[in-house]
């Protein structure tokens, strides 16, 4: 094999790219990350890390660092738009998993990963201000081309293989699928924010309430370090059916008047929802979109990972988790099969169908399908007994099926060998 500047070029330093770098370092494989933004900052709002993803981060020695900044989720709980309890089940270690479920600020997660990369791989492991515009390859390696934040040419890098971790606007995805259609809009827009608030329910509850037809909320704490008033940082997501999709920009500001009226009467004995929303300093707007699963991500010595490979509607708390699983699987294949086309092909054969099933299940029957069933069968009316509307066993089956599809059924997860 010809000599390369590094073995693996990682194009993008988000959650997937940083996890891949740590995993490759663990496997003894040299890599370097190239990130488009001039400086990595702790941006975003909340994400959930389900036990299958936390297992991978634990194997990277990050459990303690995550525990210091995240909330260990104790339960998943569902309510109607009237505030009536539908269903609750334990989560993470409270549900018998060997690994916790974490609710965490995305910026805190990226900060933990980035600090570990710089500590283990060196300060120069991440090169910022380098947006990849395309990659060429031959029988011995790949060459990535870059521009700087002003769009001026910024050199190139050579490696044995390249991995596109460059998100939903991936240049490599466009390179291989230039005629791919526009993102598939689900018919739902969402607004997101964070609010300092008194602990809700258990103080470690992931709450889903309402339904998309009339307004749905997802609410959970993402920082357990309390402020002077004993409040947690609460992440909330409002979702409403809308014929017109919002602009696909994660940092686009949203307006309260576009969605708050749907929740104006949500004054429950366990939470005043409109007050929670109004107390948020910033609101972001985003369309719930995904794209059809690709037939393959790998083309010779180039492959995709995370949102670049499988953008999904965020209805299963699983986007970041699947990127982490991609990274660990790919690192394991490269370790066992060598840094080349065979390892990338094996990674493709394993992860393309697995994530395709998650993308499609997020469309049809993610965990919040529990809310849909109750809303449709009750006609959106109050009920006396949930068992007369939808039996608990049926609701439990929806939850359990998603765990199997996404790869975090407790027995399935415990029995699975390590990726790396």
Per-residue pLDDT tens digits for 89-129: 999 999 999 999 999 999 999 999 999 999 999 999 999 99
Q: Which of 109, 90, 110 is closest to 100 using CA atoms?
A: 90
For tokens 């608990």, the residue is 392
pLDDT for 182: 85
Q: What is the pLDDT of residue 315?
A: 85
Confidence of residue 249 (pLDDT cuts 50, 70, 90): confident
- Lowest-pLDDT range, 34-43, 46-55, 157-166, 198-207? 34-43
Q: Is it the case that residue 343 has pLDDT exceeding 70?
A: yes
DSSP 6: E
Closest-CA residue to 308 (of 122, 138, 175)? 175
Using CA atoms, how far residue 94 sits from 89, 264, 408, in Å, is: 9, 34, 14
The three-class DSSP label of residue 175 is: helix
Domains of the chain (ranges; CATH) run 6-47+102-182+292-364 (3.50.50.60)
- Measured CA to CA in angstroms, residue 183 lies from 76, 193, 224 at distances of 30, 24, 36
Tell me: the pLDDT tens digits for 288-324?
Answer: 999 999 999 999 999 999 999 999 998 888 899 999 9
Phi-psi region of 109 (alpha: psi -120 to 50; beta: other; left: phi over 0): alpha
Least reliable range by pLDDT among 11-25, 37-51, 117-131: 37-51
Mean pLDDT of 163-175: 95
Taking each helix axis as running N to C, give the angle between helix 369-378 and helix 392-406, from 0 to 180 degrees, rounded to the nearest 10: 150
pLDDT score recorded for residue 2: 37
**218 within 8 A of 371, measured Cβ to Cβ:** no
Displacement of CA 357 from its chain's centroid (Å): 16
Spatial contact of 390 and 224, defined as CB atoms under 8 Å apart: no
- pTM exceeding 0.85: yes
Q: CA-based angle 175:53:319, to the nearest 5?
A: 45
């Amino acid at each position: 094999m010809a000599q390369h500047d590094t073995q693996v070029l990682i194009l993008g330093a988000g959650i997937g790219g940083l996890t891949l770098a740590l995993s490759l370092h663990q496997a003894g494989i040299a890599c370097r990350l190239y990130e488009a933004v001039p400086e990595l900052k702790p941006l975003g709002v909340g994400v959930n890390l389900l036990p299958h993803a936390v297992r991978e981060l634990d194997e990277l020695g990050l459990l303690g660092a995550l525990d210091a900044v995240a909330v260990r989720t104790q339960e998943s709980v569902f309510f109607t738009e009237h505030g009536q309890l539908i269903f609750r089940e334990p989560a993470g270690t409270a549900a018998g998993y060997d690994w916790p479920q974490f609710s965490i600020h995305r910026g805190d997660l990226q900060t933990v990963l980035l600090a570990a990369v710089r500590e283990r791989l060196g300060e120069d492991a991440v090169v910022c201000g380098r947006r990849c515009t395309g990659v060429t390859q031959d029988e011995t390696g790949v060459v990535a081309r870059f521009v700087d934040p002003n769009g001026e040419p910024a050199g190139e890098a050579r490696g044995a293989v390249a991995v596109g971790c460059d998100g939903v606007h991936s240049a490599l995805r466009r390179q291989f699928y230039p005629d791919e259609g526009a993102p598939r809009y689900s018919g739902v827009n969402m607004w997101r924010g964070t609010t300092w608030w008194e602990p809700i329910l258990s103080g470690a509850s992931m709450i889903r309430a309402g339904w998309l037809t009339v307004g749905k909320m997802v609410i959970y704490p993402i920082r357990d370090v309390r402020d002077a008033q004993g409040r947690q940082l609460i992440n909330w997501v409002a979702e409403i059916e809308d014929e017109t999709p919002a602009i696909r920009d994660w940092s686009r500001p949203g307006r309260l008047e576009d969605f708050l009226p749907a929740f104006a009467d949500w004054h429950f004995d366990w939470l005043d929802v409109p007050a929670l929303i109004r107390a948020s300093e910033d609101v972001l707007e985003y369309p719930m979109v995904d794209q059809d699963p690709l037939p393959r991500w790998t083309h010779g010595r180039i492959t995709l990972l995370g949102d670049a490979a499988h953008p999904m509607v965020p209805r299963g708390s699983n986007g970041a988790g699947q990127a982490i699983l991609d990274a660990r699987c790919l690192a394991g294949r490269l370790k066992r099969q060598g840094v080349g086309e065979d390892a990338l092909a094996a990674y493709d054969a394993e992860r393309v169908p697995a994530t395709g099933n998650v993308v499609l299940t997020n469309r049809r029957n993610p965990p919040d399908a529990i809310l849909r069933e109750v809303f449709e069968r009750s006609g959106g009316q109050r009920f006396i007994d949930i068992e007369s509307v939808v039996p608990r066993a049926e609701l439990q089956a929806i939850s359990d099926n998603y765990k199997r599809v996404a790869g975090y059924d407790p027995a399935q997860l415990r029995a699975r060998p390590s990726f790396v």
